[in-house]
A and B are shown apart, each in its own frame.
Chain A
Amino acid sequence: MSPIIHVEKLCKDYEVHQKEPGLAGSFRSFFRRKFQIVPAVRDVSFDIAPGEIVGFLGPNGAGKTTTLKVLSGLLYPTSGKVDVLGFTPQERKSAFLKSITMVMGQKQQLSWDLTPADSFLVNQAIYDVADGDYRSRLGELTEMLELQPVLNKPVRKLSLGERMKCELAAALLHAPKILFLDEPTIGLDVNMQQAVRRFVADYNKRTGASIILTSHYMADVEALAERVLVIDGGRLVFDGDLSALVAARAPNKVLRLQLEAAVARERLAQFAPVRNLDGLTAELLAPRGNVAEIAARILNEIAVADIAIEDMPIEEVLGALFQRPSAPQAAQAAS
């Protein structure tokens, strides 16, 4: 099958305004601004097939969002070739914009004072969706996302999770072929994160739409994407199967303990390597395979107020993957 997205040697530079420190510096840069070229994306190439779910992974400022914005036509590439559905994205042709959608966890398109139902009507007109299609899609999305109780409440009265579900519905009424999801679960509680994930997976199965997703949460990408593109410092450093990557490179889970009384580091180390011990808070690194068993032993043998089992933070998995800290310079410039 021919790819739906084709990216070849994409580069994107930002011009960043450099401010000198201090008040005098502020005055100086008010009159004469210095700009520095900061590369955000470097020589990135990949293809995405119709119906694929692909996760973009990488530390803050690695270039994930920049790549997404180039693919959706929001940013012009500095150089390289980008083809999405046969279109050049930055021309932003109407037919192109009608076949993609973008959901950004940090930005909302629904009007604060209106009900979701009213905002949906505006989108129906903007995307020129026929009444019949509109009703059937809205019905389907309402059912999948369980929107019925919130459709007629003003958006400002909805919880963050309810709002995100409405944002998803608003973004899908025109039945796009490609979904760009930028941190769609950011700030949501665990239940709501799972609901969003389930919906995205389900939507992909039902419609065959391709989904390109960025997230900070390893769990998002694990649950959804078979294939991941890892971007670090603007470069594509890994393109392939997620499970293999994670199993090989992040063999441990983090056991976070809230102790009831101080316990010696050596005592904790008998269960698993201690990553961190700070007063009554301890973090152990337990191998994926027997994390439950280790947790059970700890609960049996020492007094624990609370216990949590977490994935390694994505930054650390990546840090371990490349055996170096992520470049702070690039991170700052692109964020």
Chain B
Amino acid sequence: MKRHLRLIALFVRATVQSQLEYRSGVLGRLLANLMSVGTGILLLWAMFQQVSSVGGWNFDQVLVLVGVVYTVEFVVEIWFYPSLNPVSGYVRKGEFDLLLLKPVSSQFLVTFRYLQVLEFSGLVIGLAVIGIGMHRLGSLTLPNLLILAVFLVVALAIIYSLYLALSTLAFWFTRIEEVASIIWLHSTAGSFPVAAYPGWARVLFTFVLPVAFVTNVPAQAATGRLTWDWALGALAFAATALLGSGWLWGRAIRSYSSASS
């Protein structure tokens, strides 16, 4: 455990060092993030000039939901995407060999390799949007924040598992960057309360592409509306997804044979 924490610290340090080598962009990224979040909220506000609720959620509740979407999206952007997206490249170029020869789990090595903590600004914006929404609803309390934290972690575990499973396909299909773009679905489909969708889409977005668990559940937790069935459902889904994607990774490693001799 201590060795793993030390490794994560070293990987973060290494990633920060690499990023500092090419440091332009950090400020640009901050501005772009502010713009995209601002536009999103403006659109939402315009929509709520016409309707008073979407799927039973009012403006402030949807604002929290959108905050959750941004938060999850930024974590994907600074962590899962940079770390897991190169996997298919490792496989294609045969660099995976060197990873497999390390006496540390290869899943661990690829998961934490590129944690771009320098780009945290987007994350702060996402959390701020959640905070503003919660404040307007009067639900900004310590218990709500704690439950929110728990279900944000659960949401991230689900997204991580999904991304890992998609990256694992690289071992069989070699080129999967295009397939992996499905991962961004949570930011489009997930920006609305799942209750607003028709029945078949609700099932799809809950169990197949679990945007309900990834965005709706944390938003419900933040606004004190989370029910036991959804909470347990999210936990069960996350646990299954983590175990399943880990198992798939193990399978992939076993069937791996180097791309070049």
Contact = CB atoms under 8 A, between A and B. Distances in A.
Given A100-B101, A102-B97, A111-B14, A125 B261 contact: no
Contacts of B236: none
A113 B17 contact: yes
B10 interface: yes
Contacts of B98: 102, 104, 107-109
A97 interface: yes
Interface string A89-131: 0001011011011101011110111100011011001111000
A126 B102 contact: yes
Interface string B99-114: 0111110000100000
Interface stretch (A21-29, A61-69, A201-209, A250-258): A61-69
B260 interface: yes
B261 A97 contact: no
Given A107-B94, A122-B14, A98 B103 contact: yes
Q: What is the interface residue range for chain B against chain A? A: 20 to 34
Interface stretch (A71-79, A134-142, A158-166): A71-79
A66 B100 CA distance: 15
A40 to B, nearest CB: 8
**Which has the most chain A C-beta neighbours within 10 Å: B94, B103, B254, B258?**
B103
A334 interface: yes
B103 A127 contact: yes
Contacts of A109: 98
A122 B11 contact: yes
A154 B21 contact: yes
**Which has the most chain B C-beta neighbours within 10 Å: A101, A112, A118?**
A118
A335 B94 CA distance: 12
A74 B101 contact: yes
A335 B259 CA distance: 9
Contact of B10 (A14, A101, A125): A125
B18 A107 contact: no
Contacts of A72: 101
B258 A75 contact: yes
Nearest to B8: A125
A107 B97 contact: yes
B257 interface: yes
Nearest to A123: B102
B161 to A, nearest CB: 23
B11 A126 contact: no
Contacts of B18: 111-114
B258 A74 contact: yes
Given A73-B101, A102-B101, A125 B17 contact: no
A111 B17 CA distance: 11
Contacts of B10: 121-122, 125
**Which has the most chain A C-beta neighbours within 10 Å: B18, B94, B102, B104?**
B102
Nearest to B254: A76
A61 B260 CA distance: 10
A94 B258 CA distance: 21
Nearest to B253: A92
B132 interface: no
B60 interface: no
Contacts of B77: none
B97 A126 contact: no
B14 A94 contact: no
Nearest to A96: B103
A65 B95 CA distance: 14
Contacts of B13: 118
Contacts of A113: 17-18, 21
**Which has the most chain B C-beta neighbours within 10 Å: A75, A111, A114, A122?**
A122
A14 to B, nearest CB: 7
Nearest to A102: B101
A97 B102 contact: yes
Given A61-B261, A122-B14, A74 B100 contact: yes
B257 A14 contact: yes
13 contacts: A14-B257, A66-B261, A75-B258, A94-B103, A102-B97, A111-B14, A112-B18, A118-B14, A121-B10, A125-B10, A126-B102, A126-B103, A128-B103
For the complex of A and B, the 5 pairs showing the least CB-CB separation, nearest first, are: A113-B18, A97-B103, A94-B103, A65-B261, A109-B98
Interface of A: 14, 61, 65-66, 69, 72-76, 92, 94-95, 97-98, 100-102, 104, 106-109, 111-114, 118-119, 121-122, 125-128, 154, 334-335
Given A65-B261, A118-B14, A122-B14, 13 more contacts: A74-B97, A75-B258, A76-B254, A102-B101, A104-B97, A112-B18, A119-B14, A121-B10, A122-B7, A126-B7, A126-B109, A127-B102, A334-B261
